Chain A
Amino acid sequence: MNLRQMIRGIAGVAKRPATIVRPADDLGSRWDTFLEKHLPTPLGKEVAEADVHVREGRFQRSLSLMAGASSVLAGLEVSYEHYKGSYGQKVMWTPVVLSGAMTGAGVWGFFNKWAAKTVLRWVSVLTLIDSLVGFLFHVRGIARKPGGWRLPVANIVMGPPIFAPLLFGVSAYLGLIASFLRPEEAPEYIDITPGRLRGIRRFFFGRRVRWTQDIREGRFQKHLAVATILSAFFSGFEALYSHYKNNFRYKAQWSPVIIAPLLMLAAALSIRSPRAARTVLPIMSLAAIVDGGVGFFYHARGVSRRPGGSKTLLYNVLYGPPLFAPLLFAACGVLGLLACLMRRERR
């Protein structure tokens, strides 16, 4: 693959098919036509095609890369959070190592279909398990603080961040999804399970084939909406208690606390109504993304304004407002946005 192809891969437009099949019932295709018409010429086509790729599940490369990139963020966050906890237990290294592995696997998956299907998949599964285990450790950590769960407020705020490990699992989740997708250059032909095998698969796996099949075809909007709900909850809850810890010194600290439940609501509505998925969901997702960006700015400013400022930069990054937390919040918005680009499950 040459550089040009690579760039196009990122944009999701490798090997464009001659014609795009657009089922008439599909809201998305109208949207694509709209985009193609109204955006400036070269851009319009590319964006529309990217949209098609997403809709049809042909974005394995870009999602692999996204999973890799987001695990860089998650990895940075976890490594300094665990540094604050002094790596007092050896398990605390696992997410650090795994986020590195996830990054590697994501990049590899971008270049190599086989890696995306195998390496990325299993690293993602491992990371997901790790994040569940981490969650349990964090719950236990809170229990073991003086007063334990009898002092839930103090100990959730001051103990290990309870949902951080699950949030860490989001990039693994993306990786897992990516491993089931088709690469961008795959033919747009929808049902790619060879006909001979279809019956046998059904026999062994029953309906389970269907969800992977749905994913391959980009039909997992509801599924992604659920993921959006969960991650918005984790991230919003983190924002809630860390801003609470800070006594909501700035009005802006309320924004993620307000947006998160709205985004969750929008995503929930989208499960029932395709319309919501094309209206409120993108609006709230965009709001989350913008808010995450603004939050990142405020957090960076907060770090630089701490006593000592840039002269004690490392410490201030460590103990100032968490730099990457707003970006992870924005990532929930990205998830939501992705969800609205998907097609719905057949079921």
Chain B
Amino acid sequence: MQSIDFPMHRHAPGEEVDYVIIGVGSAGGVLLQRLARAGFKVLGMEAGPFWDTERDWVSDEAGSHQLYWEDKRVTGGKNPLALGANNCGKGVGGGSVHWAAFTPRFHPSDFEVYTRDGVGVDWPMSYWDLKPYYELLELEMPVAGPAYYPWGDPHGYAFGPHPMGGVGNTLVRGCTNLGIGVSIGGPVAILSGSRGNRPHCIYRGFCIQGCKVGAKASTLVTHVPDALENGAEIRDRCMVSRIHHDTRSNRVTGISYIDRDGKECFQKAKAVIVSGYAIETPRLLLNSACAGYENGLANSSGTVGKYLMAQIGNVILGRFDEPVRMYKAPPAHALTEEFYETDPKRDFARGFAIQTVGPLPIAFAKQMMVARGNWGWGMRRIMMDYNHWSSFGLLGEILPWADNRVTLSHETDQFGLKVADVSFNLHENDEKLREFGRNKTEEVMRAAGAKEVVQEARFAHLVGAARMGSDPTSSVVDCYGRTHDIANLFVCDGSILPTQGSANPGLTIQALAARTADYLISQGTVIFNSDRRDMTPPPVRPELSPPGTHGVGVPRVANLASR
């Protein structure tokens, strides 16, 4: 539905660009669009393909694996993370192509968990610094949701909520029976009314396989078209292998990449932004070690790769006498954040959310394999009952720990580059939170009327591993994504998050990208020829939104909470 067929500007071979952005995913797409619109010469490098959604995507679970990062990686630790389809995208749009598109904001408390709860770290910025960008991105995607969203900083959505599917109804029923507040029909970055040439959702439930309809927001449909129209170039199927650094000036000079024909190329750039997500970003920095940065580029603090976070993502499944048919409607359509904040009555810090999920048959079979130990005839039997099951996703905050990290393995990938070795362990607070959250979610499922309730432990989302902070000895980048070590090297993607709350990270990642873009634009050419660090907050530039963003939708309920 969304073929982008207008010509793309191509920079001449050997031509120096202003910014090269490594990875055109959630963050990379927004950066590319903003910087191109502001008139910079920008080049996006993307390891995966530039999708023609009608031709390349299918409405089929097993046929969609090419959307995920399937290159070699090693995962270990006490609680090894599943990667690939579980959290890593590849191709223009990156993770936003296969996300479920839940888009809650972080809460104000997320930005100061250390001050409030004595755990994790504080962010080098506050919620209120990011808020204008939340508001912008919620219009740009746009986000559909209730007119009044009560948690965190209460706000409303410009696009109306979605109708409920069977799973949503289960969650609403369970929550209301227990007196727990619930948000219905959003917030999700899925169109509830058509916009431009994007039709609204057809409730087909294949969000995680990529929305062929174009109803679900991905930077591929929301930001990339505008970026190209403003002169940005995207080189797809080009894997960036190294960032080059000049020791004398302590500045980066460009990148090496392996193009689609397997040829290694060099690209000169005045500044480099890494947006490869929480595993590839640290991997690239570590693989770019050089004189002066023997432990990895911009890693004088030793924190590159550390403080990787996933969220607790247990799936709680309940069987109902009446059919549910959970493959209908987008997996993401209702949630509660009632348990988001630290509660002194519980014996752990921070909290969790409960959300709808909608596993298709293969995912469901794998869940049943874990949750009920099914195999053989038992598997055949439980699968014949597929239509009677409903499922919730627990989304719990895991705190940042130094031993959860990305390092380089001795193994190499198809390009001869060292692959990432990911190690992950739950700590006491995380385990307590998981236990409590799981029980609460099961309680909601029972309250909704489920006769049998089972669960599968798992993890969702990734963030961290190149975190931002004000202290250069314990973080990699500052609050605008600029590395503390090198003045013209930036990181902007999920890896810079210092903590993660129990909200899905996509919206926050894109909002941070828009803010970084505003900062870069406000700095003009200073970035390119000086090491000066001006920390003045940039003005918010709504005029840089893609066309058609403003002036539609319902007037929003303004901020109801005071600062």
Q: Which residues of A does B touch, CB under 8 Å?
A: 83-90, 92, 141, 144-146, 154, 158, 306-309, 311-312, 314-315, 318-319
Contact = CB atoms under 8 A, between A and B. Distances in A.
Contacts of A318: 160-161
B552 A90 contact: yes
B160 A84 contact: yes
A308 B176 CA distance: 5
B432 interface: no
A119 B312 CA distance: 63
22 contacts: A83-B160, A83-B554, A84-B192, A86-B142, A86-B158, A86-B160, A86-B193, A86-B554, A87-B552, A88-B553, A144-B197, A146-B199, A146-B213, A154-B202, A307-B169, A307-B173, A307-B176, A308-B173, A308-B184, A309-B176, A312-B182, A318-B161
A83 B158 CA distance: 9
B164 A307 contact: yes
Nearest to A311: B176
B50 interface: no
A312 B172 contact: yes
Contacts of A308: 172-173, 175-176, 182, 184
Contact of A88 (B147, B191, B202, B212): B191
Nearest to B197: A144
Given A86-B144, A307-B176, A315-B185, 15 more contacts: A85-B192, A85-B193, A86-B191, A86-B552, A87-B160, A87-B552, A88-B200, A144-B199, A146-B212, A308-B175, A312-B172, A312-B184, A315-B161, A319-B163, A319-B185
Contacts of B94: none
A85 B142 CA distance: 13
A153 to B, nearest CB: 13
B203 interface: yes
Nearest to A144: B199
Contacts of B212: 146
B386 interface: no
B213 A90 contact: no
B1 interface: yes
B301 interface: no
> Quick one: which of A88, A92, A306, A311 has the most chain B CB within 10 A?
A88
Given A144-B194, A307-B169, A315-B146, A85 B199 contact: no
Interface in B155-183: 158-161, 163-164, 169-170, 172-173, 175-176, 182
A87 B184 contact: no
B193 A87 contact: yes
A97 to B, nearest CB: 14
Contacts of A141: 194
A19 B169 CA distance: 64
A86 B146 contact: no
Contacts of B146: 315
Contacts of A145: 199-200, 202
B195 interface: yes
B493 to A, nearest CB: 29
A312 to B, nearest CB: 6
Contacts of B144: 86
Nearest to A155: B202
A291 to B, nearest CB: 26
A104 B160 CA distance: 28
Interface of B: 1, 142, 144, 146-147, 158-161, 163-164, 169-170, 172-173, 175-176, 182, 184-185, 191-195, 197, 199-200, 202-203, 212-213, 551-554
A314 B172 CA distance: 13
Given A307-B172, A307-B176, A308-B176, A88 B552 contact: yes
Contacts of A92: 193
B35 to A, nearest CB: 28
> Quick one: which of A141, A144, A307 has the most chain B CB within 10 A?
A307
Closest 3 CB pairs of A and B: A88-B193, A86-B193, A85-B193
A92 B161 CA distance: 17
A312 B199 CA distance: 28
Nearest to B552: A88
A145 B213 CA distance: 9
A86 B192 contact: yes
Given A146-B199, A312-B182, A88 B176 contact: no
A141 B254 CA distance: 48
Nearest to A309: B176
Contacts of B213: 146
Contacts of A144: 194, 197, 199
B159 to A, nearest CB: 4
Contacts of B185: 315, 319
B203 A158 contact: yes
A218 B19 CA distance: 76
Contacts of A86: 142, 144, 158-160, 191-193, 552-554
> Quick one: which of A86, A141, A158, A312 has the most chain B CB within 10 A?
A86
A144 B202 CA distance: 12
A281 B379 CA distance: 61
Contacts of A85: 160, 192-194, 200
Contacts of A158: 202-203
Contacts of B551: 90
A320 to B, nearest CB: 10
A127 B158 CA distance: 26
Contacts of B160: 83-87, 318
B219 to A, nearest CB: 20
Contacts of B200: 85, 88, 145
Nearest to B184: A315
A87 B199 contact: no
A122 B203 CA distance: 41
A158 B162 CA distance: 12
B202 A146 contact: yes
A89 B552 contact: yes
Contact of B176 (A90, A146, A312, A319): A312
A265 to B, nearest CB: 35
A271 to B, nearest CB: 40
A315 B163 CA distance: 9
Nearest to B144: A86
A88 B203 contact: no
A347 to B, nearest CB: 46
A82 to B, nearest CB: 8
A290 B212 CA distance: 45
Nearest to B157: A86
A243 to B, nearest CB: 16
A154 B193 CA distance: 16
Nearest to A80: B160
Given A308-B172, A308-B182, A319-B163, A87 B203 contact: no
> Quick one: which of B163, B184, B185 has the most chain A CB within 10 A?
B184
Nearest to B212: A146
A306 B172 CA distance: 9
A113 B268 CA distance: 78
Contacts of B172: 307-308, 312
Given A85-B193, A88-B193, A308-B184, A146 B159 contact: no
> Quick one: which of B170, B213, B554 has the most chain A CB within 10 A?
B554
